[in-house]
Structure 1
């Protein structure tokens, strides 16, 4: 009987530690800084779908590299589609405008529309994008931060995001703690 009580106490303690760690991560999460503004331009909900497109050499545009182009998008369950406009002010009085560390439950297709943006992941390596550049945020737990490190010009992008349907509209962006490996990047 005594041994069973000890195991129950240990199991209960472990459950409390796991829950405390989960909620502590939310408390330590970073948020966007002054100078960053995200605006949802459009929003819609799509039902489950599957689309497959392909083109072969004869129907590809002149100058296309390769012999085929493929695109596959498949969802299971409803999805929320967002068109997001984001702006970053230039560095002002030492404050770097940033998204804060975050992730998304789905992917984003991004076009930089003005200025220069620098994206960091947990490896702390800068990925620099200029106006006209595009990039993909794979989402699904890929934690990152996007900043405008210019002291002279604002920056902007437009993102198309597809995430699992959330009736409360709370899952498009998930704030996360700053990685220990990147303490100087916030």
Structure 2
């Protein structure tokens, strides 16, 4: 496998290489990726950094378990590049590049990827809204009841104060 320390001055690849030297970073061969994903990452003490977005692994895991155990990070720190390589000065390269661009702009690659991978987008990001699905009982709603009771007591006190002020005002006039 290639050495991660490509930039002698620094950078994220250099930092990952240094972490590997002290045992805080593990490289996993391509044939063992799914096993590492299902053991190390599922255990909860490892994260998975992959050069491509692991949509397929997450979608397969959701299909197997029926729940979202993994989410993608919101940050992207390594660029992902997909390209086509052709011979130098080939007349096919500009023609194919144009057609690839048209297919990408039409959204065909995303469509094909979503068709190829069921449950692709279901577990991409963590939910921003949390739905509580527990039964309602007094321990779940006591805070709301305190607010309602506090509002009722406060309104009763203000009403009594208004009545008192009204009587004092009428007594002063007479």
TM-score range, shorter chain: under 0.3
How does the TM-score come out when normalised to structure 2? 0.22
Q: Which has the higher relative contact order, 1 or 2, with Cα contacts under 8 A spaced 6 or more apart?
A: 1
Q: Which has the higher helix share?
A: 2
Return the index of the structure with the highest Cα Rg. 2
How does the TM-score come out when normalised to structure 1? 0.21
